């Protein structure tokens, strides 16, 4: 337990590598399609505003945030936050990402079930990942030193709490896939992009989707690794 376990690599490494590959693809596609101007020549901010207004979401603000690929929509505070490269640039990549965040705003407006579940899971997941980790390792230590059943039970409860991180990462998948699906439909139905410009949007958004897939697999495999350690020791 208290030394580095090569088994951990076996569980987590494939998803970790998948994540690195996905992040590399997001960055390279984003850089490539940031240089491709759209026919309409709208910045990401203009795309988001036009589409929010067209969908009647006048109350959702479009704001500029700091960082690179830091774009997000927060259902709690409701600004559509776009990174400077998206907010200010009239590119295919910016239009795609702005439309994706706009997809989250629409999910929120329509109380899309996975988004509601995901938002509800945020506090429990934070609590579960910190307390769960302490209980898991505390319980294991107690169990290995004293052989106490209580230690084992605490560790099992801790693992249950920690497993919320994997549930959260899995619920994130339909939320992200659906936002991208909405983005692609909206960009075309509102005439923001032409069909040939959608190729770049597809590449940027589909590669971003893979980062969430990798994160979900990694979270799931981490829980399975701990479960293996916990229950494997019992045999
Ligand atoms: Zn998203």
The continuous run of DSSP H or E covering 82 comes out as strand 79-82
The continuous run of DSSP H or E covering 94 comes out as helix 92-109
* Confidence (pLDDT) at 233: 63
Tokens of 36: 């491709």
What residues have CB less than 8 Å from 200, skipping those under 6 apart?
29, 32, 33, 36, 92, 93, 96
CA of 226 to the centre of ligand 1 (A): 29
- Tell me the pLDDT tens digit for each residue of 36-84: 999 999 999 999 999 999 999 999 999 999 999 899 998 888 889 999 9
* Confidence (pLDDT) at 144: 83
CA of 26 to the centre of ligand 1 (A): 13
Output the pTM of the full model: 0.90
Count of the separate structural domains present in the chain: 1
* Residue 110 belongs to some domain of the structure: yes
For the chain, give the mean pLDDT: 92
* Residue 204 belongs to some domain of the structure: yes
Is residue 82 within 8 A of residue 40, CB to CB? The reply is: no
* Confidence (pLDDT) at 7: 86
Which range marks the domain in which residue 201 is found? 6-232
* Residue 16 belongs to some domain of the structure: yes
CA of 151 to the centre of ligand 1 (A): 40
CA of 125 to the centre of ligand 1 (A): 18
Catalytic residues, by residue number, are: 101
Categorize the per-residue pLDDT at 187 as very low, low, confident or very high, splitting at 50, 70 and 90: very high
Res 234 pLDDT > 70? no
- Tell me the pLDDT tens digit for each residue of 115-164: 999 999 999 999 999 999 999 999 989 988 888 889 999 999 999 999 99
* Residue 37 belongs to some domain of the structure: yes
Tokens of 56: 């009647």
Q: Sheet holding 61-64: strands in order across? A: 61-64, 79-82, 72-73
CA of 60 to the centre of ligand 1 (A): 16
Paired residues of 63 in beta bridges: 81
For 104, 107, 118, 122, 144, the CA distances from 111, given in Å and listed in that order, are: 10, 6, 11, 16, 47
* Residue 1 belongs to some domain of the structure: no
* Residue 221 belongs to some domain of the structure: yes
* Confidence (pLDDT) at 9: 87
């Amino acid at each position: 337990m208290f030394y580095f376990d090569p088994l951990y690599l076996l569980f987590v490494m494939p998803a970790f590598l998948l994540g690195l590959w996905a992040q590399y693809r997001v960055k390279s596609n984003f850089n490539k399609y940031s240089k491709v101007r759209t026919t309409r020549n709208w910045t990401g901010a203009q795309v988001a505003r036009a589409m929010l207004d067209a969908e009647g979401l006048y109350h959702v603000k479009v704001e500029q945030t700091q960082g690179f690929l830091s774009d997000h929509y927060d259902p709690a505070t409701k600004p559509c936050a776009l990174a400077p490269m998206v907010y200010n640039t009239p590119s295919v990549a910016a239009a795609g990402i702005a439309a994706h965040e706009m997809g989250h705003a629409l999910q929120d407006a329509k109380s899309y079930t996975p988004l509601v579940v995901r938002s509800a899971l945020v506090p429990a997941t934070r609590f579960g990942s910190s307390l769960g980790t302490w209980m898991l390792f505390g319980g294991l230590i107690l169990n290995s030193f004293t052989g106490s059943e209580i230690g084992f039970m605490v560790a099992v409860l801790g693992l249950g709490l920690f497993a919320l991180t994997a549930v959260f990462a899995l619920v994130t998948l339909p939320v992200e896939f659906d936002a991208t699906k909405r983005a692609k439909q909206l960009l075309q139905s509102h005439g923001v992009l032409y069909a040939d410009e959608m190729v770049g949007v597809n590449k940027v958004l589909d590669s971003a989707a893979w980062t969430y897939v990798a994160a979900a697999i990694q979270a799931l495999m981490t829980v399975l690794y701990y479960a293996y350690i916990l229950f494997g020791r019992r045999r």
